[in-house]
Structure 1
Amino acid sequence: MATVTLKGNVCNLCGTDVNVGDNAPEITVVNSAGLADKVVGGSKDKAQLIVVVPSLDTPVCAAETRKFNEKAASIAGVDTTVISMDLPFAAGKFCSAEGIENLTVASDFRNKDFAKAYGVLIADGALAGITCRAIFVVDTCGKVVYKELVPEITAEPDYDAALNAAAAAAPKSTCCGGGHCS
């Protein structure tokens, strides 16, 4: 099973190890806006940028969410979701306070189904029971085309690599240029 570190201390991860080329499991998480269910993974009409963070109540996770809110919004055909174990109410307050409007912030607090299905649940150590920091990009066919498991939980991900992978996975226009497409 995979491992990450927290300030140099090894943390084991548990769950199914999802890698590039695998089918992205369809999992229901809870949207912080209105407590509605949201399904991530599987095939969709847009590419999916799934950003996994331990808690929005930490400086690195907050900065990462703000950055993806700003940058991912400019990529057409990409649905971005930030997933943590934070309660939806706390995530909703964070979004209101930080002006997060260009992506979905969701929680896996109910059953930890997402964390287990994607192999990002921390199994031991001080952060046992929450998610590590990871990025998954899923194409419209439901295949994982990019994965970053950030080795040190307190470090930020490779934003450019994730955003470039999301842009590459986004559906391309099939317009012929004849001016009659809407």
Structure 2
Amino acid sequence: MAKITLKGNPIHTSGKLPKVGKKAPKFSLIKSDLSKAKLKDFKGSKLILNIFPSLDTGTCAASVRKFNEEASKLENTKVLCISRDLPFAQARFCGAEGLENVITLSDFVSGKFGKKYGLLVKDGPLANLLSRVIIIIDEEGIVTYTQQVQEISEEPNYEDALKAL
């Protein structure tokens, strides 16, 4: 369980992030067209999992914009922006912002992704949303980098995450 903060107030997550050097846990998330996306669908590509509570916050929206900008410069890399927002809200946000280099995925149905990856917020005002995390997965499905943002209202360290590719 990670101890993180929201505006300085302690909150907790459901477990520990996947270990660097190990296979990434399988997942099934919902795309904006309501079809399913599974980890195996992305085999052969490097993945940046940009995970956050909700696109309806300035910090979360900023991270999606930043990774959208960076994604266009990356070879053989897909950026998956994951939250518990409804797929319709994710599609609306990306459409309004003109974001075409990221893939939004939702964990709204069951929260299994957040539990399996150990990043579901357990308490406080963001309970049952996802904490702010970056996970890099290589072409073979191995976790090569993780970053749990300690203060959930702050942006991730983009530079460190991108260097890990």
TM-score range, shorter chain: over 0.9
Partner of 1:26: 26
The 8 Å contact of residues 72 and 163 in structure 1, kept in 2 or not, is answered as no
**What code does the residue aligned with 2:20 have?**
V
Partner of 1:105: 104
- The size of the alignment, in residue pairs, is 165
String of CA shifts for 1:135-182, please: whole Å, max 9, x gaps: 00001121110000000000000111111212xxxxxxxxxxxxxxxx
> Aligned-residue CA RMSD in angstroms?
1.5
Partner of 1:11: 11
d(CA) in 1 for partners of 2:161, 2:71: 10
Is structure 2 residue 60 aligned with structure 1 residue 61?
yes
Partner of 1:140: 139
Q: Which runs of 4+ in 1 moved over 6 A?
A: none
Counterpart secondary structure, 2:11: strand
Partner of 2:159: 160
Q: How far has the Cα of 1:3 moved from its partner?
A: 1.5
d(CA) in 2 for partners of 1:43, 1:66: 21
d(CA) in 1 for partners of 2:82, 2:43: 18
d(CA) in 1 for partners of 2:63, 2:152: 12
Partner of 1:169: none
The 8 Å contact of residues 51 and 82 in structure 1, kept in 2 or not, is answered as yes
Deviates more, 1:21-30 or 1:35-44: 35-44
* Larger Cα-atom Rg: 1
d(CA) in 2 for partners of 1:37, 1:87: 13
Distance 1:164 1:42, change over 3 A: farther
Q: How far has the Cα of 1:41 moved from its partner?
A: 6.6
The 8 Å contact of residues 41 and 138 in structure 1, kept in 2 or not, is answered as no
Partner of 1:179: none
Counterpart secondary structure, 1:125: coil
**What code does the residue aligned with 2:108 have?**
F
Is structure 2 residue 94 aligned with structure 1 residue 95?
yes
d(CA) in 2 for partners of 1:10, 1:42: 36
Percent identical residues? 42
Partner of 2:149: 150
Counterpart secondary structure, 1:122: coil
d(CA) in 1 for partners of 2:76, 2:45: 5
**What code does the residue aligned with 1:61 have?**
C
Distance 1:70 1:165, change over 3 A: same
Counterpart secondary structure, 1:14: coil
The 8 Å contact of residues 16 and 116 in structure 1, kept in 2 or not, is answered as no
d(CA) in 1 for partners of 2:164, 2:37: 22
d(CA) in 1 for partners of 2:31, 2:16: 23
